[in-house]
Amino acid sequence: MAVKKVPENIVQQAIAWHIRLASSQQQSTDVEACNHWRAQHTDHELAWQRLLEMDSTFAQVADQAPTLAQSILLKTDSDYRSVNRRQALKVMARSAMTVAVVSGIAYQQGAIDYLGADYVAYSASKFYLLQDNSELWLNKNSAAKLNFSSSSRQLDLSRGELKLNAVAEHRPFSIQLPFVKISSQQASFFVRHHDEEVIVQVMDGSVSVNHLSQNRFDIKAGQSYRVGAHSVQLLDNKMFDYSSWVDGIFSVRNMPLSALLAELSNYRSGFLRCAPSLAEHLVSGVYQLSDTDLILKTLALSAQAEVRYLTRWWTEIIPSR
């Protein structure tokens, strides 16, 4: 059965009403005005009902798969950084109208990754001692497949993040990813695989990176790189410790607030951002990941700002009023 398309301007209006009614500033007249708007045209009511269905779907999925709603909204987040709020709402609205299909595909793909893996971490990070006595930590929502032979040791990281302490032996230990292979005889290092991007941080020893379209290069202890399908970028290793989640913390030094919130969003459901005027505010410290709401309050305090919850899925840090 065909699904009726709701005009984009109507979708924007529905989202605006939804945010307005969810706000702590709402007035009784707002409910009346919203009901009047819904009754003006069948498209208004259709957009409103779909928005309510999306909110209900996210609430149910959050209990079963906490990152599914986040992954959908963070698709918007990647676009949001280069557009204004109204444009971001447009993108989110387009996702909202197809949330059932997107959720089904995302959940199915996640299930495939998990079912095909030897080692998984779903709602919390996990530690594994491998058969060669190497130590493997998988962050939440991560999956890896093991392939050991007489001549090599290999992990295929299909999704997520890992930290590996590879013990020394004659067989090289490698992490296989779609466009890059990371190898070492003995090292302690972190790898993140997200979409078309890989981040590698080496804590001890060194690793060799074989890139499909770039020259082979080495990463030494104390270095971090972001590797794309066609690019390689050296990162500031002192600013953020990518593997600190192993200890249940975030360790940061002079990190822009917007960048830290992007990392923190991986540990919360929904959309998380700060006002543009606060994006470059530098923060330092050690933050306990067990309480992300407390982290947000602490960050807001350091910036003389406040945390605002527009809906259960939309959180902002804004300048204090």
- Give the CA dihedral 228, 230, 113, 142, nearest 10 degrees: -10
> How far is residue 71's CA from residue 271's CA, in Å, rounded to a whole number?
9
- Three-state SS at 62: helix
Judgement on whether residues 214 and 300 belong to the same structural domain of the protein: no
**What's the one-letter identity of residue 268?**
R
Judgement on whether residues 52 and 101 belong to the same structural domain of the protein: yes
Other C-beta atoms lying within 10 Å of the C-beta of residue 85? 11
Q: Where does a domain end: 113, 140, 160?
A: 113
CATH number for the domain that contains residue 190: 2.60.120.1440
Q: Where does a domain end: 95, 113, 131?
A: 113
Is 287 inside a domain boundary? yes
Is 241 inside a domain boundary? no
Q: In what order do the strands lie in the sheet with 271-274?
A: 271-274, 314-319, 305-311
Judgement on whether residues 13 and 70 belong to the same structural domain of the protein: yes
Judgement on whether residues 28 and 67 belong to the same structural domain of the protein: yes
What's residue 101's pLDDT? 40
Judgement on whether residues 132 and 180 belong to the same structural domain of the protein: yes
What's residue 143's pLDDT? 86
What's residue 221's pLDDT? 96
What's residue 109's pLDDT? 47
**pLDDT tens-digit series, residues 56-93:** 544 444 444 434 434 433 443 343 344 444 444 444 44
Judgement on whether residues 190 and 258 belong to the same structural domain of the protein: no
Q: Where does a domain end: 57, 92, 113?
A: 113
pTM of the shown model: 0.65
Contact 137, 124 (CB under 8 A): no
Is 160 inside a domain boundary? yes
Is 76 inside a domain boundary? yes
Judgement on whether residues 108 and 22 belong to the same structural domain of the protein: yes
Is 269 inside a domain boundary? yes
Q: How far is CA 104 from the centre of its chain?
A: 19
Is 46 inside a domain boundary? yes
Residue linked to tokens 């466009």:
179
In angstroms and rounded to an integer, the radius of gyration of the C-alpha atoms of the chain is 22
Judgement on whether residues 125 and 109 belong to the same structural domain of the protein: no
What's residue 77's pLDDT? 39
What's residue 120's pLDDT? 65
Is 1 inside a domain boundary? no
Is 3 inside a domain boundary? no
Judgement on whether residues 58 and 164 belong to the same structural domain of the protein: no
Note down the domain range covering 213.
120-235
Report the domain count for the chain: 3
Judgement on whether residues 171 and 225 belong to the same structural domain of the protein: yes
Other C-beta atoms lying within 10 Å of the C-beta of residue 88? 18
Judgement on whether residues 40 and 99 belong to the same structural domain of the protein: yes
pLDDT along the chain (321 residues), means of 10: 60 78 68 91 84 56 41 39 44 43 42 54 84 94 89 92 95 93 96 91 96 87 93 92 94 96 90 95 95 96 94 90 82
What's residue 19's pLDDT? 72
Judgement on whether residues 26 and 54 belong to the same structural domain of the protein: yes
